[in-house]
């Protein structure tokens, strides 16, 4: 990535600790504890209370740390492990442009977009996700409950790292088998709702573009209350959405109203699936496995209860527990599952089919490429040409990417992609400036992802390199593109049979009234929670 961290190269966790403490790790530990070295390596389990409770022996480069609210739904810090090295500030400030980008004192809550990048940069794992594993295991043990799970695209090329496999190992079938072995009653694929997102978000984009071509008077399939601003922003990365709510609330009418694939599947599990399987939705516990800590925040947003509203119980939320990839690995270890020994299994039907277009949602540029493939179909009625199945300009780890393509009957469609929130500011500041000066929008559609590399580099993914490296991200994203091109049978979201079925049997058509009730959402202006710095 261009502007991710300003660091070069990758170091192991042990080498990093060596640099921070200014001494060989084993020697430093001996000095801090006042014990003789046993000669055994001491890294890997964090620092002990005895080590950090001796102030004169603290690491030489004490630089502070990010503030974390005790109520933060996504991340927690174990103070016993914190060595005040300041690496979390590097991630939060330099990569994500959150810490240091607002004036002190804080007005309301501690500003955090829940991305979890700090947890990937923390050398002692003092910062980690809020652990919900015990709650999920308790639900699995309760025979009165029907516990379903969905797995996000990026988890299937990363969870193997927790079991000694190289970054990017494709582990989809074994992951499904492990979840079934743990006792989940339904194992579904978030790829299903990624394809559904393309239908909903693509239809929304077509409405906005047609409206712009017609002179911008509103109306169209989305109804006259639908937002019409261009460019349309993607909305599936909850860290990005919250960032926009905090720092660019004036641009929220550009945000697609589509919920993320996680939330769409949650809402459908307690309505469509419950109805088809004749299960009382009250008994359904909906779990997601995500590469992302912000998904815990997203699941807890008060408006994410549309299935509950539909079922006459507003307290029922769409997704009960969002676990990270790391928590999934922890669960597998608790269940003593040898992932490598499992035979591949398939996702369950009704919400288990996904296409290659969906699996590349897991990488930067993937949502855009998937949307362009089906957007072309929605605009022209024809499947896209071969070129659009390998859209190089939107691929790769550059911080900001741009592309333009000619769509017959429509004209030039201009798109942009950014990942890592520091990079998002480039496009957002430019748009603000264009609007202020009444210039035409440079783009029709922009994909924003909170984390460097997109979901494959999410804050809930395995800690494989320190700081998180482009080499690891590249290995994971290469595997997703391999799955799209060589493993999945279909590469177009609109060809997903289960997606076609849900429109026929339940939703009607994309952007229908029911689709809006269950699959779309609204946003919160959080600008009043902080005073953004003019120039950080
Ligand atoms: S990165 Fe981890 S160890 Fe370092 S200051 Fe932050 S919380 Fe503490
Ligand atoms: S989760 Fe993200 S926004 Fe929150 S403190 Fe960590 S890096 Fe900063």
How do the residues of the chain divide into helix, strand and coil, expressed in percent and rounded to 5?
45, 10, 45
pLDDT in tens, 38-95: 333 323 334 444 545 555 555 545 578 999 999 999 999 999 999 888 999 999 999 9
Q: What are phi and psi of 383, to 5 degrees?
A: -70, 150
Find the range with the poorest average confidence among 9-18, 30-39, 276-285, 510-519: 30-39
Question: Which residues approach ligand 1 with their CB closer than 6 A?
Answer: 65, 77, 82-88, 121-122, 124, 126-127
Q: Give the catalytic positions in this structure.
A: 201, 204, 236, 256, 295, 298, 303, 455
pLDDT beyond 80 at 435:
yes
Taking the C-alpha atoms of residue 40 and residue 194, their distance in angstroms, rounded to an integer, is: 47
Question: Which residues approach ligand 2 with their CB closer than 6 A?
Answer: 66, 75, 91-92, 96, 98-99, 112-118
pLDDT beyond 60 at 516:
yes
| pLDDT at res. 37 | 33
Contacts of 349 (CB under 8 A, 6+ apart): 498
| pLDDT at res. 504 | 98
CA of 271 to the centre of ligand 2 (A): 34
- Taking a C-beta distance cutoff of 8 angstroms, is the pair 448, 248 a contact? no
Residue with tokens 């239908």: 199
Return mean pLDDT, the chain.
87
| pLDDT at res. 213 | 78
Share of the chain above pLDDT 90, in %: 77
Query: Taking residues 221-236, what's their average pLDDT?
Result: 75
467 pLDDT tier (thresholds 50, 70, 90):
confident
| pLDDT at res. 299 | 98
Q: Domain boundaries in the chain? A: 13-129, 131-520
- Taking a C-beta distance cutoff of 8 angstroms, is the pair 309, 275 a contact? no
Atom of ligand 1 nearest to the CA of 63: 5
| pLDDT at res. 54 | 57
| pLDDT at res. 386 | 92
In this structure, CATH architecture of domain 131-520: 3-Layer(aba) Sandwich (3.40)
pLDDT beyond 60 at 35:
no
CA of 482 to the centre of ligand 1 (A): 36
20 pLDDT tier (thresholds 50, 70, 90):
very low
Query: Taking residues 208-214, what's their average pLDDT?
Result: 84
Find the range with the poorest average confidence among 84-88, 366-370, 407-411, 475-479: 407-411
CA of 317 to the centre of ligand 1 (A): 33
Nearest ligand to the CA of 87 is: 1
| pLDDT at res. 23 | 28
From 73, 95, 96, mutation site for ligand 2 pocket: most ligand atoms within 8 A of C-beta:
96
| pLDDT at res. 383 | 95
36 pLDDT tier (thresholds 50, 70, 90):
very low
Find the range with the poorest average confidence among 32-46, 90-104, 257-271: 32-46
CA of 452 to the centre of ligand 2 (A): 13
Q: Supply the residue whose CA is at minimum distance from atom 4 of ligand 1.
A: 85
| pLDDT at res. 117 | 97
Burial tier of 152 (Cβ tally within 10 Å: 0-12, 13-18, 19+): buried
Atom of ligand 2 nearest to the CA of 95: 7
- b/e per residue 123-147 (b: at least 16 CB within 10 A): bbbbbbbbebbeebeebbeeeebbb
Taking the C-alpha atoms of residue 174 and residue 453, their distance in angstroms, rounded to an integer, is: 24
Which pair of tokens denotes residue 536? 């950080």
Find the range with the poorest average confidence among 24-38, 245-259, 376-390: 24-38
pLDDT in tens, 150-161: 999 999 999 999
Q: Where is 287: in which H helix or E strand? A: strand 284-290
CA of 134 to the centre of ligand 2 (A): 24
CA of 58 to the centre of ligand 1 (A): 13
Q: Supply the residue whose CA is at minimum distance from atom 5 of ligand 2.
A: 112
From 99, 122, 463, mutation site for ligand 1 pocket: most ligand atoms within 8 A of C-beta:
122
Q: Supply the residue whose CA is at minimum distance from atom 5 of ligand 1.
A: 84
Taking the C-alpha atoms of residue 474 and residue 271, their distance in angstroms, rounded to an integer, is: 38
From 80, 86, 466, mutation site for ligand 1 pocket: most ligand atoms within 8 A of C-beta:
86
């Amino acid at each position: 990535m261009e502007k991710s961290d300003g660091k070069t190269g990758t170091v192991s966790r042990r080498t990093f600790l060596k640099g921070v403490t200014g001494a060989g790790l084993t020697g430093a530990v001996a000095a801090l504890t006042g014990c003789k070295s046993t000669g055994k390596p001491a890294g890997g389990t964090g620092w002990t209370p005895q080590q950090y409770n001796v102030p004169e022996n603290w690491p030489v480069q004490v630089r502070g740390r990010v503030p974390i609210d005790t109520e933060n739904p996504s991340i927690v810090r174990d103070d016993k492990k914190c060595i005040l090295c300041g690496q979390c500030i590097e991630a939060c400030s330099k990569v994500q442009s959150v810490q240091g980008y607002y004036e002190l004192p804080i007005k309301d809550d501690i500003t955090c977009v829940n991305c979890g990048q700090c947890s990937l940069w923390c050398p002692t794992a003092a910062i980690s996700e809020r652990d919900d594993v015990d709650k999920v295991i308790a639900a699995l043990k309760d025979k009165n409950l029907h516990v379903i799970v969905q797995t996000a695209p990026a988890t299937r090329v990363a969870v193997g790292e927790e079991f000694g496999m190289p970054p990017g190992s494709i582990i989809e079938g074994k992951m499904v088998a492990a979840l079934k072995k743990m006792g989940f009653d339904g194992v579904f694929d978030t790829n299903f709702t990624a394809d559904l997102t393309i239908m909903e978000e693509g239809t929304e984009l077509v409405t906005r573009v047609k409206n712009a071509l017609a002179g911008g008077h509103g109306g169209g399939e989305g109804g006259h209350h639908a937002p019409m601003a261009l460019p349309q922003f993607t909305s599936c990365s909850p860290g990005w959405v919250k960032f926009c709510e905090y720092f660019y609330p004036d641009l929220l009418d550009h945000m697609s109203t589509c919920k993320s694939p996680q939330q769409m599947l949650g809402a459908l599990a307690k309505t469509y699936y419950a109805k088809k399987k004749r299960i009382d939705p009250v008994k359904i516990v909906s779990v997601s496995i995500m590469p992302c800590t912000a998904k815990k925040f997203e699941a807890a947003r008060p408006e994410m209860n549309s299935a509950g509203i539909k079922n006459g119980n507003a307290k029922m939320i769409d997704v009960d527990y969002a676990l990270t990839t790391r928590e999934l690995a922890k669960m597998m270890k608790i269940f003593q599952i040898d992932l490598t020994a499992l035979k591949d299994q398939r996702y369950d039907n009704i919400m288990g089919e996904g296409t290659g277009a969906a699996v590349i949602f897991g990488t930067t540029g993937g949502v855009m490429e998937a949307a362009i493939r089906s957007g072309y179909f929605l605009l022209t009625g024809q499947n896209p040409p071969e070129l659009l199945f390998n859209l190089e300009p939107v691929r790769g780890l550059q911080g900001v990417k741009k592309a333009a393509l000619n769509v017959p009957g429509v004209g030039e469609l201009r798109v942009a992609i950014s990942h890592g929130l520091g990079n998002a500011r480039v496009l957002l500041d430019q748009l603000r400036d264009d609007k202020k000066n009444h210039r035409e929008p440079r783009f029709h559609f922009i994909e924003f992802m909170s984390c460097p590399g997109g979901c494959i580099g999410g804050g809930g993914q395995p800690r494989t390199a320190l700081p998180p490296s482009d080499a690891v991200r590249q290995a994971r994203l290469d595997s997703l593109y391999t799955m799209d091109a060589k493993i999945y049978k279909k590469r177009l979201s609109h060809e997903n049979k289960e997606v076609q079925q849900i429109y026929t049997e339940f939703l009607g058509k994309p952007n229908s009234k029911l689709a809006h009730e269950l699959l779309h959402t609204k946003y919160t202006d959080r600008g009043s929670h902080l005073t953004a710095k003019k120039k950080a």
